[in-house]
Every structure is written in structure tokens, then in C-alpha cells.
Structure 1
């Protein structure tokens, strides 16, 4: 089953999600929170074939921030669809406040919604609370959850335009720990599903897409690699290969 946010079949080169004025075409999304060199960010996004640019506001002021003015000198930011992330939020209030600041500052309407536990795992109930508030405020919300069908259905019922499902602990490089649970979410909901967290190799990316994920998000594996752009390119090739080898009719 498909809705207006999920173009039917979404062939290569066509968006798999259109929401809040942003078209998601690339099946590889790359986080940029861990970089300090604007030129490297530009090279990584280009090598990964990415079409969205993720920015955030750190409510605790604990992150090494890249200045948008420096990024604008290193890359053409207008080529990307801008989305926001609340990946530094540890409560529903912090997540909502972050999203509203991003909209006020940059006009961002699409939010990669994260509410984390102290152990850096998705926190279910605060995520639901933040999603409800943000959807009511007119945001397009992509919540990050553990592979839990009941929680997934609750969030879709609230109006989440896509879901992001945890493969394994963030930065663990363990790949998809519970394929059956991840597949169950993908097969249950009628919105796109992005798999992320712990995808440390191109093989992990292929595994996630083989389960039926619409896209993958990779951050740490690229950021800590000796050659970040080359690793981004390898992840992109894994995505392309997985799409090319999908059975007919998927």
C-alpha cells in the first residue's frame, strides 16, 4: 500500500519520498555531524551521490559546529534539499525546541526526529510525544525508532511521513542485528523506511536494502574511515548494486 508521500515503485532516478518541499531520490543519506572540515563534507556528499543536506542545532552546545558560511564556500548548498535533525536531543522538549529553531532560522519543515536515551538508543515514548507535537505544528517528521511494529504503527498513525529503524547500536558497526524485526516493520507500514545505526560496511548496507528498506543512512562508518569520500562512494555502489539486483516487481 502506498500513500502520497511514497511514490509507487520509485524507480531509479525518481523520488522515493516527497515531503515538506524536499524530494528524496538518493537511497543513501549521509550524516555530517562528525566533520570539522567543510571541504570534506562537500566531497563526502558528492561521492555518496547524496541529495539532502542535514543540519541541526545542539541544545547543549556540546558539538563542534561547522559554520554554514564555511560550508557555503565549499559547496553549493542550493543543490540539496535541507532537512533538520534533532540527534542531540535527549527529551521530547529538546527535540521540539530544536525543530522549531531550525524552522525559524532556515525555514526547514522536514525533521529527522531523534530522541535518544543516555545510552544513545532511540527512546520510544518521548519520540511519540515529540512527533505528535511536531506533526500538529506542520512539520514533516521522520522518527528514529527501534524495530518495533507497534511503535511504528503508532507513529504512522500520528502522521510520520517515513520511519528510520535502528539496525544495531549507533556507531557499533554490527550491521542488522534482528533482520526479522526490521523486515516486520518494513512490511507493516505504508510509508518509506530508512534503516540506520551500526551500518559499518557496504555489506551491511546491502543487507538492509535486501530486507526492503527504501534507503539507508550511514554516518560513523564514513566519518571515521581513513578515506571518507572513498568510503562514501563504496556505500553508494552498494546501494546501487542492491537496487540493480532486486527481484522484478519489488
Structure 2
């Protein structure tokens, strides 16, 4: 059997089927054209959109809604910029309306971010859980952005979240999977999809996340702020495919001692 990141190996979140396991963002690109080219070469099928930035026509978000083919790409509205649960809930509701304006009437997805401090941009676990409970009750498909905390991830699954999104390292830091050990525990702890979000800087780190058993990655800054964003987007696409294939194929067990790859019997003396 050939394992590929294709239609034979779909990722299902909230009843929605994705073939690509690379999700991307829409912020920080040098231009709208660069973003369009990057989305195309990444072959991604879901992108995050910061609801508040679209509403205020923030830099790089003006005209964003008109430049993405929403018939092909699923919108993941996010609550970026929200500092408490109440604010995140309100913005999530606006995000649902934004998706409807894009023609996605049945889109209830929301990337839930509750980040109270701009100095380190780490998510508030209590506020996130509070907001998640309310949004699930309102029929949202909730994908919470969290620290790599296995216990919190299990609690969020229990309240009905469709996936969990642990950070690899702080947003935009490019430090890679500093929380790899905890992410590994988290993957074992929950049955919903695990999407590693934040901190990935290069394709090898995206591949590592998939090799570990993560179901997908969300990459924004590493693509948007690369020297050549479209080329980096394509590199990330290939890394995610390789990582998923490696995970499904099963890695060689790690050993403390060497093990010869050639037979040690029947040698010519």
C-alpha cells in the first residue's frame, strides 16, 4: 500500500473533509498578490482570517475577502486580538457572518484565540475553556489555540471542540517545536485532530510535527515573511506530505547500539 497525503488519507474536522494537511494564514504578506500566489502553491484548503482586522480594513487585509476563491478554500475565522472570553465569543459570531458573506452558509468554524497579554502572546487557558463551552453550545465548530497542555486539550475535547491547536512555540517566533514532548503527550491524550499552530519556521519543523502524529499544521509567518513566500509555501506543502507519509509508514525504532544494515554471516574471508 502506498501512503500519501491525498484523497485516500483525508482529514475530517467537524464533518468537513480536507485533503491538504497544511493550513495557512492571510496576514503579514508583503502584498495581496504574494498571498494569492502562496495560497495557490501551498495547495491549502483552509485559511485563517482575522475577523477584527478585516472589519477595520487593517494593513494587508484591505480587499482580502475579494481576492480569495472561497469556493475552493474554507474560511477559518479567528478571534485574534481578543483578550477575554466574552470578547472572543462576540467576534466568533461576527466571523460566522463573515463566512456567510463569502458564500459559505454552512461554515460554523472558528479558531478560538483568547490572548490577554501582547508581550508574549500566549493563550489564556481559563478564558479559552469558558469561551469554548459557550461557542460549542451555540453550534460552532471550535478549534481552540492553546498551550501544549494535554489536560486542557482533553477538557476541551470533553466540552465538544472539533480539534485542538497547540502552539509549537510563541506566535511568529520561528523557534520550531520547543514543546515537542508535551505535544507528543497531547496527541496521545485526545481523539480529536491535533493541529500544531505557531512557531514553525522551516519545512523540516512542519514535517516533524506530522511525523510525531499531529494531524495538520497551520503556518503563517514562516511563509508570509520568507524571502520568497510562494516558494516557501510550496516547500511547506511538500514537507507536510512527507511528514504524514513517514508517520503512516512507521519509523525505524531508535536503538542505543549500532545495527548493521548488511548480513554478518557468509562473509568472504
Q: Structures share a fold, TM > 0.5?
A: yes
TM range (shorter): 0.7 to 0.9
Conserved 8 A contact 2:142-2:163: yes
Conserved 8 A contact 1:114-1:122: yes
Give 5+ residue unaligned stretches, structure 2. Answer: 101-106, 252-269
Describe how 1:26-37 pairs up with structure 2 within 5 A. 26-35=20-29, 37=31
Q: Secondary structure at the match of 2:35?
A: helix
Conserved 8 A contact 2:32-2:60: no
Question: In the aligned structure 1, how far is the partner of 2:180 from the partner of 2:250?
Answer: 21
Count of residues in Structure 1 that have an aligned counterpart in Structure 2: 239
User: Is 1:223 paired with 2:227?
Assistant: no
**1:147/1:18 CA distance change after superposition, 3 Å:** closer
**1:24/1:94 CA distance change after superposition, 3 Å:** farther
User: Is 1:89 paired with 2:82?
Assistant: yes
Conserved 8 A contact 1:176-1:199: yes
Q: Which residue of 2 aligns with 1:177?
A: 178
Conserved 8 A contact 2:165-2:196: yes
Conserved 8 A contact 2:22-2:217: yes
Q: Which residue of 1 aligns with 2:61?
A: 66
Q: Which residue of 2 aligns with 1:161?
A: 162
Conserved 8 A contact 1:92-1:127: yes
Conserved 8 A contact 2:110-2:140: yes
Describe how 1:38-53 pairs up with structure 2 within 5 A. 38-53=32-47
Conserved 8 A contact 1:208-1:216: yes
Conserved 8 A contact 1:148-1:185: yes
**1:105/1:170 CA distance change after superposition, 3 Å:** closer
**1:65/1:226 CA distance change after superposition, 3 Å:** closer
Question: In the aligned structure 2, how far is the partner of 1:154 from the partner of 1:15?
Answer: 25
Q: Which residue of 2 aligns with 1:6?
A: none
1:220-248 residue CA offsets vs partner (Å, 9 max, x unmatched): 11111111000111111111111222343
Q: Which residue of 2 aligns with 1:5?
A: none
Please state how far the C-alpha of 1:80 moved relative to its aligned partner.
1.2
Q: Which residue of 2 aligns with 1:56?
A: 50
Please state how far the C-alpha of 1:77 moved relative to its aligned partner.
2.4
Conserved 8 A contact 1:35-1:66: no
TM-score (norm 2): 0.81
Question: In the aligned structure 2, how far is the partner of 1:178 from the partner of 1:75?
Answer: 33
Q: Which moved further from structure 2: 138-147 or 108-117?
A: 108-117
Give 5+ residue unaligned stretches, structure 1. Answer: 1-8
> Which of 1 and 2 has greater Rg?
2
Q: Which moved further from structure 2: 35-44 or 124-133?
A: 35-44
Question: In the aligned structure 1, how far is the partner of 2:31 from the partner of 2:246?
Answer: 36
User: Displaced runs of 4+ in structure 1, greater than 4 A?
Assistant: 59-62
Q: Which residue of 2 aligns with 1:207?
A: 208
Please state how far the C-alpha of 1:117 moved relative to its aligned partner.
3.1
